[in-house]
Amino acid sequence: MLLRIVVFLFLLLFPLQAHGHKIHVFAWVSGDTITVESGFTGNHPLVNGSVTVINKENGELLLRGTGDKRGIFTFSIPPEIKQKKADLVITVAGGEGHQSQWTILADEYQQSQIDSLASTSQGSSISNHELKRIIEEVLTKELAPIKRSLAKAEDSKPDFRDIMGGIGYLLGLAGLVAWLKNRHPAAP
């Protein structure tokens, strides 16, 4: 079966160059800024992707921007957005009909928790403001790789199981059709 050989050759090829055509978006908050990272599956950055930020509740457009060469776009959270306590939906479009989304919940950028934490530490030699800044900095630094790997895990590229599963479905469907056709053989 020649076609089997063709399929098999493709299977041999794909681990070397298996990249889909799917954009992944990952955004995180650090202090007052939000960083949006986007790329194609397989660590190819999305150059000059157009980023839009909308209010999840009413779909109002809050912000628009363009990613840089590394696929990164950073913006500081405007005060009016903070007041609204809106959940943000960040969409990155790569032109040619590819786009993807990431949601940032209001909780993620509301600083109230850290504020209250800071205010309990009266009497220490560092000011509340200083403490807050230090905590933020450390947390951002420590959590960034974790958030990143979470995003990666959520966005796994097709693996061997997916591919074999798909091929299995196709062969199974063919078998099903063949069986259905042969159950009631057409009159000769």
Quick check: 167 binds another protein (CB under 8 A)? Answer: yes
Site for another protein in 34-73 (CB under 8 A): 40, 42, 44, 47
Question: Cβ of 179: how many Cβ atoms within 10 Å?
Answer: 9
CB of 144 to another protein, least distance (A): 25
CB of 96 to another protein, least distance (A): 5
Quick check: 78 binds another protein (CB under 8 A)? Answer: no
CB of 57 to another protein, least distance (A): 17
Least Cα distance to 77 among 111, 108, 36, 33 occurs for: 33
Quick check: 160 binds another protein (CB under 8 A)? Answer: no
**In which residue are the tokens 């457009």 written?**
61
Question: Cβ of 59: how many Cβ atoms within 10 Å?
Answer: 8
According to DSSP, residue 121 is labeled -
Site for another protein in 93-132 (CB under 8 A): 93, 95-101
| Dihedral sign computed on CA atoms, order 20, 22, 28, 33 | positive
**In which residue are the tokens 């628009």 written?**
64
- Give the chain's end-to-end CA distance (angstroms, integer): 29
Nearer to another protein, 47 or 72 (CB): 47
Size of the site for another protein (CB under 8 A): 45
Pairing of strands 88-93, 50-55: antiparallel
CB of 22 to another protein, least distance (A): 6
CB of 103 to another protein, least distance (A): 13
**In which residue are the tokens 């959520």 written?**
154
Chain residues binding another protein by CB under 8 A are 1-4, 6-7, 10-11, 13-14, 17-23, 40, 42, 44, 47, 91, 93, 95-101, 157-158, 162-163, 165-167, 169-171, 173-174, 177-178, 181
